[in-house]
Structure 1
């Protein structure tokens, strides 16, 4: 329904604009009987899609630009503006709308840093106006740089509006200003932010009425029909009067050279060298190092600096030249170099008439391609769609005579071969990617929402293929932004035939060194003829944490993850498990012995689609591996120990339990916050191999996994479950010995033995005072086991706070709404305040919340 309503708004907008040129949101709302809020919603969507344009003002107006702006430009002077159908397309379309707007256009402001091409674009817009018969062929183009008169606003005013004889000393005759000189043509005001407030007021009066008075004239008004283009390097909001800005409805910004797409940066560099080649009548060879430096470095002066670097390089090469060609190498280049190695050597021929990029095709293939993509969403047989897509691309290739010999295409094909074919083993895909490149210079207007929907569906169906495509496009930023998604879709669809999507085990190789891992990856993937492994090359000084961080990043980039086989050159298997266990839901094998033969052996097994368990059985006898199943907390029967007072108590309890249970269960410790999080998620599968959870507080009764508050060992009524589970495993005699050791551990004597910083006798007395104050507040005497629990908890809390100034991650608590908790929080701050002062610590809200749980239980 939304799409239909949006199209209805566009249709009505076109109807109104055909008669009156522009329309407001209110007019549209009234004509369609819709709310203005809904109308604005659809107008913003249509503007983002490039189908309509907004003219700022009071009120704002909306117009419909020419439906085929790019086709209109293919034969115009604006075609020579690099990026006219790329990153500058929306800028140029907006300017054209301003130029064509009756009766004499709209004022245009071009913003951007120094050297981005503001003056060049202004001159091209003037030429386009003549070419389109909007102004006469002999119309003037007058230029004024306001910065030249920044310190003398009166002289600027005289230069702009003219002056009368006697207006000031030295004015011995009448002089016409630039506004008069620009009559019926264009006035370009550069560095317009240097215009004073007084001159802004004079100028916006002229904008409104076409009338002005020369300096010294007080009776007569003069008239001039002038179209204004202005430019500035500054933020207009900071330098212009609001009343002045309102007179400039068309505002566009030019990006820095470094922010332009790589194709356009290469085209700019090649076009500048081509001018030098024509001038010097010599062939120019630009080395790979220089091409990379010119296209990838950021220049504060943008294209202006680029021109100077190229001129100086050519001048120095020309001075040393002895034949008919110039070689631009590091020896003659005055700028800084870059380590980027994306581009190859470039040869510029003086007989070449235009720069590198092929002409944009004169056909519009958008409708045909959009219909093909719609079929993906309609679940048409994907193979039929692929066949149609391939025929469609061949049609474009033949009609436009693409030969892929241009500089950019050669570089892209070279990179695809090195990166995708060789590293990922996607053999025979080079010619298919070449076919996809036919869209590189094809003019297309496609619905962005459609592209997003199609790509999401393709990612689900071809997860391994889209991973390769995403990785490639991240490394190579060579296309216009609006083309990237389309190219990902087309490339993924067509190369999916070369990638085995049935493989459900991911392979990952990690090694220290510049190319150790990627070299092994390349060998194995090519020998298997498929994408089996991803590789990560780690710096020599990388730590185990760095390795794990890279694995996590790799896991994050997967659309969905199957089982993982990780082969590393060094590192602790147990530590890797610990650091990765919460990141992986499938099974994991880590092999701590990376060689090409091992990687190949495992790769062949993965490629033959053996299941994880069979691969595990075959690998165990031969390689040093360890295996864990991470579809739950552990693949072995286990006991989890989690204490509020911190991992220190949990680890001590683990040591005690391990004496008696080491052959029966795997024993784990877990942060209490993590345990609570998993319980709150009601994720029972996470604990499916867990036999018992031991805590120092009561867990919810709704939690189905067997759990036991360790302080209940003092209460025979509540220890039945604990006894039942453990006696069956270790027998009654060992169980009684275990209980005696636990009681000793939790006694006052046991608490004292675990205090290393605090004086046990003093701290126990202070804690006794705190407990008594809580009992007075609650009007309740704690049972012995609860008092012991509080002694342990508070003593260890104080020592922990003294030893660490760091705040716990758990300090960030959700907002408390329970009035009982709020009251407890407030009274606790008073009760604990003397303790804080004495020991110079701060008890956080989180710590108080733990006390609340302990006392509640």
Structure 2
């Protein structure tokens, strides 16, 4: 084993040896020894080829000389003693505590750090640059540069430089100067922090400086804290280890703090997210993304915990948060993260490296939130983006038809052709509307002005969201038509546009409207078949449907037949054994009623279509 020379060891260690030998002399001659701080420093800096043995001999000679010159003095005096002199007492029980006191007194650590913290606090609170805080720390380090030998400091500096490259530059893209003087100064700051931690309590001034750094340089502080955890987890727990921040981060803080968004990558797998993070941050040359590699069985609550902990460590003044993830519910993810922070939020799914790089470059250019959000919607058909709370961030009308999104899209086209472009029209199928109304509150529909459907929505669904839900077939009723006109006027639509919309809607919902919707089949034949099907239901259940319901059924059935001829998509069959007796009866009856149509048009009416029809008719046939 090769031991370091005494002169190459840290000053606090050298002082410990000198104090130990002074304590031995006090015990041996049973006298107190009073030594001047500068004399203790001289002993700690004693350089001899015999190292520690020579130091012990030197202490014995000093004590013997003091005793020989003034044996009557109690205590023995070494050097020019004054009120700052250090007293060594015989039979000292708690030697380590005493040595700590000796080191603190010799280096004047208490007054030195108190003055440093006061100046740093004033500098941070006054908004001065990190250059000024670096100067204040460098001035103190220059005064106590004897705390580490040059050889030891050089080795320590190389180790810190290597760790910084591994844990910061490689992952976060942040680079540091390569010159040796810079890293020796950083190493010296860490040594000073160690001396303070070992010999001083965690004062309120030290804790305040740590908080002030986090407040003033939140992103840089986050990186530096991450670096401390990699060096030694105990470092994070001591406020003194945040002093080297000013020495190490001086050249990169400005660039790091220029990033205005908190960006997060979430991906399943051991390295997926961190691999993309490393590529993007390195190419952009700055810390833009933090990454969380998630286990396959991770829950949404756990993901939310990752995000919440990260955002807590970031600046509350950021322009917004950007979250890219690889799978899961977009709306659910948005809703959960929004609970953590009320800042603007963009959530994008189906994470790719190209997507992350594009967002990283836009953040680097300081693009505004809206432009980043709109760009994220163009990443591909398999990618979804949400950056507003609720269904839409614009005033909107929801259109939902029992016959499917196709019919809803036709109504949407009609609205777009007559009403102003400022009013967004969102077409959804009836099942999705049912789910939205069941699972969301008024806040989700904050921008929704009106919901148009082709069937009445049950009163217990969506009853508390405070939005008018209108069956489009009610447009034939004067009272319902006026209600719709009032809603549209409140949206800022002109009377002329509203009248034109209603006129076109009436034509669309008539038999002539059905003819206009059919693209392939002969309207006369298809409508005739639809009328025959409706008539069979009336006969079997001994009911008489109203004209409005009949018109709705004719359109639904006609479009269903054509859709099934042109679409190859199939749906999962329904297990009829799980149905109620009325449902089983309806399915059995429908199979017979649709048989002629299936043979004529060479189609197979699927269970899904019969289930939709049941939902449309159940209130009329079962009362």
TM range (shorter): 0.3 to 0.5
> Structure 1 or 2: larger helix share?
2
- Structure showing greater Rg: 2
Q: Which has the higher contact order (CA 8 A, sep 6+)?
A: 2
Q: TM-score, normalised by structure 1?
A: 0.36
Q: TM-score, normalised by structure 2?
A: 0.47
